[in-house]
C-alpha cells in the first residue's frame, strides 16, 4: 500500500494537471457550475481515500468518471430531477463520453459569455480553469480577495439565472468573446509563468494555457490574434529552461544563456507572431512583436529598444493599460542615452494608478532606475517595497540579492 504522504503528493499533482478537464467534463453533465465544482472536489477527496490501494493508470479518466457519478447521484436526489432528465439523457455517462478535448474551451467560453461583466468573466475563468484559490485569483488580477470572491459568486449566479448554455459559440458569436477569452488564456499562462509560492513556475498552468491557445487557433484559423497569442506564449515558453541558474536562482532575460533556449519552439513562435503582425496590429500581435524583438536580438545589449518603445506606444493607443505604461517606461529606461530622471517621473506618476498599488514590478522598476541614478538609499527602500509585494519565492530572492548589493 502506498504511503499517505505519497498519495497526497500524487493527488496534488493530479489536481494541478487535471482539475479543469475533470470540472469541464462534469459541467457538461450538470449544467450547474456550483454542483460540478462540488462533485469535482469530492472526486479528489475520494482519490485520497481510494488510491492507497492502487493509483489508476488513467488518473484523469478515473477522476472524471467519479465526479460525474457523484453528480448523477446528486441530480437524482434533487427535486428538480424531472427538469434535469432531458440533459441526463443527452449527456449520459459512457466510456467514450467522459472527456472531450474541447471541454475546457467550452468552459472558457461559458465563463466569458457577454452577459457577464468582463471583470467577472476573467475572475470566474481563472477560478474554474486554473483551479486557483480565490486568493490566487485576487493576486493575479491585482484586487482584494473579497472583491475576487464577489466577482466569482456574481458570475456563477448570473450563469444560472440567465441559463447561459455550456457550448462553444456559433461562428458569428465568436468575435465578441474573443478578446476576453484571449485575455484569460494569457492570464492563465502568467499565473503559471510566475507562480505564487516557492517555485518559479507551475507547469500545469503554462501547459493548460498553451493547450487552450492551440485550441483557439484551430477553432479560428483565420483570426490573427489567436495566432499572435500562441506565438507569444511559445516564445516565452522557449526561454523557460534559462530562467533558472544551476542553483535554482532566477536569471533575468538580460543575463540568460541563450544557447539554452528551445530553438524549435522559438522559431515556431516567431513565425506565428510575424504572420499575425502582417495581418493586423491588435494588442496580442503587438505583445508578440515585443517578444520577437527580444528573442531575435543577438544579445540583450543589441536589442532594438527604440522599436520596443514604439510597440508599447502603439499598444497604449488600442489598450491604454497601466501595466503597458509601466512596461513602456521600463523599456524607455534602456534606450541608449535615455533621460533616467524623466523615466523616474513616469514611474512615480504610475504610483497613483489604483491597479498598480499592489504590483511589485512597479517598485522593482523604480529601484532599478534609482540605482542607476546613484540614489542608493531610495533604491533600497524601493526594493523593500517590491519584496513585500512579491509572492514568488524565486523573485523575492532575486530582489533581496539586488538590495543587498546596494546596501553593501
Q: Domain limits of the chain?
A: 1-98, 225-303
Q: State the pLDDT confidence band at 74, using cuts at 50, 70 and 90.
A: confident
Structure confidence by residue, pLDDT tens digits, 299-321: 999 999 999 999 999 999 988 99
Q: Is the pLDDT of residue 80 over 70?
A: no
Average of per-residue pLDDT across 148-155 = 91
Who wins on pLDDT, 165 or 381? 381
Who wins on pLDDT, 265 or 112? 265
The CATH number assigned to the domain with range 1-98 reads: 1.10.1740
What pLDDT is recorded for position 97?
A: 47
What pLDDT is recorded for position 345?
A: 97
- Least confident range of 29-33, 268-272, 283-287, 362-366: 29-33
Q: Is the pLDDT of residue 394 over 90?
A: yes
What pLDDT is recorded for position 87?
A: 45
Average of per-residue pLDDT across 270-276 = 96
Are the C-beta atoms of residues 234 and 210 closer than 8 Å to each other? yes
- The model carries a pTM of 0.82
Amino acid at each position: 500500500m502506498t504511503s499517505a504522504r505519497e498519495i497526497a503528493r500524487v493527488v496534488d499533482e493530479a489536481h494541478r494537471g487535471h482539475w479543469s478537464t475533470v470540472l469541464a467534463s462534469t459541467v457538461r453533465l450538470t449544467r450547474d457550475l456550483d454542483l460540478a465544482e462540488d462533485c469535482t472536489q469530492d472526486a479528489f477527496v475520494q482519490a485520497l481515500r481510494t488510491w492507497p490501494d492502487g493509483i489508476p493508470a488513467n488518473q484523469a479518466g478515473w477522476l472524471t468518471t467519479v465526479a460525474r457519478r457523484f453528480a448523477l447521484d446528486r441530480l437524482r436526489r434533487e427535486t428538480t430531477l424531472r427538469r434535469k432528465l432531458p440533459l441526463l439523457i443527452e449527456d449520459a455517462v459512457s466510456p467514450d463520453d467522459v472527456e472531450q478535448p474541447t471541454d475546457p474551451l467550452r468552459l472558457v467560453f461559458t465563463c466569458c459569455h457577454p452577459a457577464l461583466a468582463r471583470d467577472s468573466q476573467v475572475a470566474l475563468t481563472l477560478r474554474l480553469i486554473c483551479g486557483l484559490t480565490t486568493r490566487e485569483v485576487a493576486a493575479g488580477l491585482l484586487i482584494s480577495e473579497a472583491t475576487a470572491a464577489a466577482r466569482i459568486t456574481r458570475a456563477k449566479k448570473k450563469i444560472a439565472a440567465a441559463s447561459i448554455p455550456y457550448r462553444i459559440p456559433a461562428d458569428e458569436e465568436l468575435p465578441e468573446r474573443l478578446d476576453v477569452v484571449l485575455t484569460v488564456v494569457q492570464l492563465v499562462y502568467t499565473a503559471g509563468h510566475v507562480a505564487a509560492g516557492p517555485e518559479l513556475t507551475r507547469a500545469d498552468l503554462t501547459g493548460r494555457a498553451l493547450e487552450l491557445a492551440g485550441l483557439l487557433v484551430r477553432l479560428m484559423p483565420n483570426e490573427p490574434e489567436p495566432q499572435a497569442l500562441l506565438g507569444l506564449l511559445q516564445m516565452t515558453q522557449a526561454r523557460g529552461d534559462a530562467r533558472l541558474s544551476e542553483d535554482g536562482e532566477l536569471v533575468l532575460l538580460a543575463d540568460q544563456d541563450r544557447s539554452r533556449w528551445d530553438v524549435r519552439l522559438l522559431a515556431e513562435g516567431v513565425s506565428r507572431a510575424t504572420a499575425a503582425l502582417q495581418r493586423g496590429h491588435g494588442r496580442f500581435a503587438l505583445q508578440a512583436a515585443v517578444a520577437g524583438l527580444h528573442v531575435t536580438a543577438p544579445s540583450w545589449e543589441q536589442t532594438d529598444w527604440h522599436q520596443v518603445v514604439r510597440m508599447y506606444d502603439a499598444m497604449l493607443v488600442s489598450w491604454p493599460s497601466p501595466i503597458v505604461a509601466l512596461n513602456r517606461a521600463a523599456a524607455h529606461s534602456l534606450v541608449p542615452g535615455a533621460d533616467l530622471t524623466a523615466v523616474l517621473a513616469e514611474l512615480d506618476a504610475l504610483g497613483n494608478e489604483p491597479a498598480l498599488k499592489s504590483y511589485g514590478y512597479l517598485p522593482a522598476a523604480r529601484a532599478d532606475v534609482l540605482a542607476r541614478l546613484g540614489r542608493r538609499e531610495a533604491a533600497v527602500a524601493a526594493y523593500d517595497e517590491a519584496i513585500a509585494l512579491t509572492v514568488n519565492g524565486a523573485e523575492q530572492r532575486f530582489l533581496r540579492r539586488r538590495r543587498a548589493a546596494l546596501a553593501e
